[in-house]
């Protein structure tokens, strides 16, 4: 008997999360084992409520080709922490799986989403329910373990590097001491901020200092280091992760603001650049600028990495192929190889989501230098990930993105 | 006798100010009347100090081709208000004109720069000094009078529209009331912020409200309007100029911060989005995000308008041609025409800088609607200006920009 599939998106959007969605849907459309493709309206929340969108209208539609280039979560996302004790939600989910004849479920997200995939898989196994449940990796933070990198990181890193290069060029305008503080996303890991290293146009990195959450932050040392650096350069740029912390574990940004927490207990951070600005200006006279890359860095569909885009589609495609061949409770991982000419390539493998969820891959401390830069190892690691640009679909001078036509199936 | 030319850049950089510089230099390189091309190191300040860079190294150099794609002020800029009474500076300038055998001087900038061009031209005329001095238009603010638009505006507008489109898509992620406040540059004019109108993917503009400095801002009315709008939409984006003011003339951003002033007495504004956020959250419960496009919007060389890029080069070229044919104290202006098929084209003309300097072209009030959007007239006006994308020179996945090799001529 033919089955249907359900696919959902979770957590923060990215510039390529819909490329993975495209990979899932396209492979499902092409499979003879699958009848209908349903999208969860706002992730697992929609699945609990029975809000599913029939995506068959995308079949052969030009909007389907635009979908793969569209940033943001096409289906809508959520931040819903599914608890193993929340049987009401879990039973509602499986009731809807049954009602919509779902044989395969794909959840695109980060380590919290893998936790959801794990819980639902275990429930299915315990109850003897035949459904294949797969996690599709996505996070600009690049913090999933057991995979060389994650879809979303390359594009965000590329956008950060290009934007910083431009901000630095702009900061050369005036012939007087200028300090530009640029804040990147990254609660616990510094992968995105490290991409700032690519912004430089030559080998001299005196103009750039990089601060990651993995390295304990000391305000006095920071101010002294900035003073020292300004003896060498007129224009200094400081790239800093939102999640840098003092030795006592307190976020630097907590210096001034109350910190909101989301439903996972994660602190909603911002304003770290402002805190550093206010501290520096007490003792260092300069022209100051603060730039928060904010959601721009994860949604910049107009400047994505071709490698990231291609790999994101692959992650979606491979997930469906493996599910169709019987795998469940797994996530597609990337393994890096270099061919005989030293060219980067990836091969994929599967890992249990239970080994991935609720863990974080930190930026290696040995890839940071004492003078607040990164080593050649990081450059070698990240360079292929930001390479190339996908051809875009443009209309009237702007990226022509797709927008979900919400037509919910009746519950 | 052959003469040399000097060219300088002034005020805030843009993504295409170097395209105009390229146009000037290229036309000078090709002229048999001109021997050497000098760049002013940091504008008129460098000219006073005699800091001139011999740009002959760019002749036939691949870096010259990269220069035209490079954002930021390649030669360095300044914000120096030349006073007519400051004879010491003016005499230093003319001494350097003489010393370097400058027969033609080109100053790329906005209305403050046109003021400088005017003052130097008048001095030359009074003293009977034979030098042609031309202003080359540049400002992302689009506020120069007597020209349909200015080089720099189209690219910044295009970047704003694309980025906002992406931010709006990102804001659809969560299925709960979301208010995103995006702040654009524009002290006195709302041209940049109005470009937010292009961000929408369909004709329904309920999700977007636009606030320009030309329209008096009322906080109570604003809060009521936002409340009303949230009855219609889940995700609301508010595009706001940094320079919006209350009826009494006070900047909205002054609500919270002391305002710095630059050497022209202009207030250095920022944080208006933050002020609105703090006011709204007192009465409206929603997920809030503030995004300041900041210097990103004027330096985004990775996403420029081909039309703007081409016209910026033209502005530089035409300025040199007119100077060589004897014109002085003029600025190249753009006049819009439509051909028989309704296609946009520009023809250029010259206007006295004295008619341009120290004036501002405001966004027409009749192009704003009561429901905080823009009319079709603005769309028709700006659409051609954001069209097309120049081919970029890329290296290792990033825009390969040029960097000035500073080698100052000895004074």
10-residue mean pLDDT profile of chain A (411 residues): values are: 95 97 98 97 97 95 96 96 95 98 97 96 97 98 98 98 98 95 96 98 95 97 98 97 95 67 54 92 95 97 98 98 98 96 95 95 97 98 98 97 80 44
**In a 10 Å sphere around its CB, with 0-12 CB exposed, 13-18 middle and 19+ buried, how is residue A87 labelled?**
exposed
**Which range, of A33-37, A127-131, B274-278, B346-350, averages the lowest pLDDT?**
B274-278
State whether A170 and B397 contact (CB < 8 Å): no
Tokens of B264: 């022209």
Q: Is the pLDDT of residue B410 over 70?
A: no
Span B311-337, mean pLDDT? 98
Locus of tokens 């275990």? A122
Residue A263, pLDDT score: 58
**Cα nearest neighbour of B78 on chain A:** A174
Q: HSE-up of B142 (CA within 13 Å, CB side)?
A: 24
Nearest-neighbour CA in chain A from B73: distance (Å): 6
What is the least distance, in Å, from the CA of A396 to any CA of chain B?
Answer: 6
Residue B175 phi, psi dihedral angles, 5° rounding: -90, 50
Is A155 an 8 Å CB contact of chain B?
no
State the best of A12, A169, A380 to mutate against chain B, taking most chain B CBs within 10 Å: A169
Q: Does residue B29 have a pLDDT over 80? A: yes
Amino acid A410: pLDDT: 53
Tens digit of pLDDT for each residue in B287-297? 999 999 999 99
Contact status of A303 with chain B (Cβ, < 8 Å): yes
pLDDT in tens, B73-85: 999 999 999 999 9
Nearest CA in chain A to B383: A396
Of B124, B148, B125, B127, the residue nearest B137 (C-alpha)? B148
Cα–Cα distance, B17 to A251 (Å, whole number) = 40
Count of CB atoms within 10 A of residue A281's CB?
12
Higher pLDDT, B168 or B262: B168
CA distances in angstroms from A149 to A79, A389, B236, listed in the order given: 22, 18, 34
Element (DSSP H or E) covering residue B67:
helix B62-67
Do residues B165 and B199 make contact, with C-beta atoms less than 8 angstroms apart? Answer: yes
What are the chain B neighbours of A295 within 8 Å (beta carbons)?
167, 170-171, 289, 291
CA atoms A18, A19, A20, A25: torsion sign: positive
**Position B18 pLDDT exceeds 80:** yes
Q: Is B399 on the interface with A (CB under 8 A)?
A: yes
pLDDT of residue B267 exceeding 60, the answer is no
**Chain B contact set for A406 (CB, 8 A):** none
pLDDT at A389: 98
> What is the distance of C-alpha B349 from the center of its chain?
20
Whether pLDDT at B411 is above 60: no
pLDDT digits (tens, 9 = 90+) for B153-211: 999 999 999 999 999 999 999 999 999 999 999 999 999 999 999 999 998 999 999 99
Among B112, B115, B141, B308, the one annotated catalytic? B141
Do the chains contact at A296 and B167, CB–CB below 8 Å?
A: yes
SS3 A52: strand
Quote the tokens at residue B335: 């006049």
Q: Are strands A260-261 and A235-241 parallel, antiparallel or unpaired?
A: unpaired
Residue A141 is a catalytic residue: yes
- Give the residue from B191, B166, B194 showing the smallest Cα distance to B180: B166
What is the sign, positive or negative, of the torsion defined by CA atoms of A41, A42, A47, A49? Answer: negative
Give the active site residue among A112, A115, A141, A308: A141
SS3 for A132?
strand
Q: Residue B307 pLDDT > 60, yes or no?
A: yes
Question: Which chain B residues have a beta carbon less than 8 Å from that of A158?
Answer: 397-398
- Kindly state the average pLDDT of the residues B60-81: 96
pLDDT at B270: 54
Report the gap between the CA of B208 and the closest CA in chain A (Å): 16
Helix, strand or coil for residue B119?
helix
Mean pLDDT of B320-335: 98
CA-CA distance, A276 to A253, in Å (whole number)? 8
If 0-12 CB within 10 Å is exposed, 13-18 middle and 19+ buried, where does residue B83 land? Answer: exposed
State the pairing for strand pair A178-184/A235-241: parallel
Return the pLDDT at A406: 78
A71 has a chain B CB within 8 A of its CB: yes
């Amino acid at each position: 008997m033919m089955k249907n599939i359900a696919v959902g998106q979770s957590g923060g959007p990215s510039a390529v999360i819909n490329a993975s969605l495209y990979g899932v849907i396209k492979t499902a459309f092409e499979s003879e084992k699958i009848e209908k493709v349903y999208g969860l309206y706002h992730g697992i929340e929609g699945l609990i409520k029975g809000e599913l969108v029939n995506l068959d209208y995308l079949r052969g539609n030009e909007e389907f080709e635009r979908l793969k280039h569209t940033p943001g979560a096409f289906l809508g996302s959520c931040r819903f922490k599914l608890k193993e004790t929340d049987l009401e939600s879990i039973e509602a989910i499986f009731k809807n799986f049954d009602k919509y004849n779902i044989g395969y479920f794909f959840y695109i997200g980060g380590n919290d989403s893998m936790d959801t995939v794990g819980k639902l898989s275990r429930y299915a196994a315990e109850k003897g329910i035949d459904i294949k449940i797969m996690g599709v990796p996505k996070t600009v933070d690049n913090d999933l373990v057991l995979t060389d990198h994650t879809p979303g990181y390359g594009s965000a890193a590329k956008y950060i590097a290009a934007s910083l290069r431009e901000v630095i060029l702009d900061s050369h305008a005036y012939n007087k001491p200028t300090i530009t503080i640029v804040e990147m996303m990254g609660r616990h890991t510094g992968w995105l901020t490290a991409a700032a290293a690519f912004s430089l146009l030559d080998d001299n990195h005196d103009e750039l200092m990089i601060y990651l959450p993995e390295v304990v932050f000391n305000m006095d040392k920071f101010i002294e280091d900035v003073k020292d650096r300004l003896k060498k350069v007129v224009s200094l740029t400081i790239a800093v992760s939102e999640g840098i912390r003092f030795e006592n574990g307190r976020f630097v940004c907590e210096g001034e603001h109350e910190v909101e927490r989301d439903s996972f207990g994660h602190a909603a951070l911002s304003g770290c650049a402002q805190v550093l600005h206010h501290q520096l200006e007490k003792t260092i006279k300069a022209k100051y600028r603060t730039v928060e890359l904010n959601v721009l860095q994860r949604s910049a569909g107009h400047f994505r990495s071709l490698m990231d885009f291609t790999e994101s589609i692959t992650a979606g495609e491979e997930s469906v192929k493996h599910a169709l061949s019987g795998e469940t409770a797994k996530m597609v991982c990337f393994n890096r190889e270099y061919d005989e000419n030293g060219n980067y390539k990836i091969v994929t493998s599967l890992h249990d989501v239970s080994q991935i969820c609720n863990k974080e891959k930190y930026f290696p401390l040995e890839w940071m230098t004492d003078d607040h830069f990164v080593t050649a190892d990081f450059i070698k690691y990240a360079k292929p990930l930001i390479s190339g640009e996908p051809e875009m679909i443009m209309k009237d001078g702007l990226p022509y993105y797709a927008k979900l036509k919400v037509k919910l199936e009746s519950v």
